Amino acid sequence: MATAEECREAFEKLTARLSELDPKDRDAFFSGRSFSCHVTDLNVTFVTRFGAQGAEPVQEAAPGDPPADVRLTALSDVVLELADDLGAFPRAWLSGRVKVHASMRDLLRLRKLL
């Protein structure tokens, strides 16, 4: 089992990949959208928001915060795996090891990136 700090860094790595997209594409896909990652075995949720400059710093969600637009849920080891190999995402999602909660529009946008 990974630590909360390792998971925060892994989620930062995942969102940094999205920040590296062409600014025009990134703005069209994600500007103003919030992303979170709930690590079930640690019961911690990390959140960030995309703006004109890319992703804001990842922080721990506070109790009572509204849900993010795109929410990932996984065990800590899976979060680390996804950060190291984005190609692992489809396999983890299809096997149920990662869950994605988002609008149909956001899901279609994410699908184009995977």
Degrees, nearest 5: CA angle 1-58-77:
15
Can you give the residue range of the structural domain that contains 72?
4-113
Q: Do residues 68 and 106 touch, judged by C-beta distance below 8 A?
A: no
Contacts of 72 (CB under 8 A, 6+ apart): 35, 36, 37, 38, 79, 98, 99, 100
pLDDT attached to residue 90 = 84
- Pairing label, strands 44-51, 34-39: antiparallel
Residue 70: which of 48, 92, 43, 95 has the closest Cα? Answer: 48
pLDDT tens by residue, 55-100 = 789 999 999 999 999 999 999 999 999 998 877 888 898 899 999 9
- Pairing label, strands 59-60, 70-74: unpaired
When pLDDT is averaged across residues 50-55 and rounded to a whole number, the result is 76
pLDDT attached to residue 113 = 58
Q: How many domains is the chain partitioned into structurally?
A: 1
Q: Do residues 88 and 13 touch, judged by C-beta distance below 8 A?
A: no
- What's the CATH code of the domain at 74? 3.30.1050.10
Q: Is the pLDDT of residue 114 over 60?
A: no
pTM (predicted TM-score): 0.87
Q: Which residue has the higher pLDDT, 43 or 16?
A: 43
Q: What DSSP designation does 74 have?
A: E
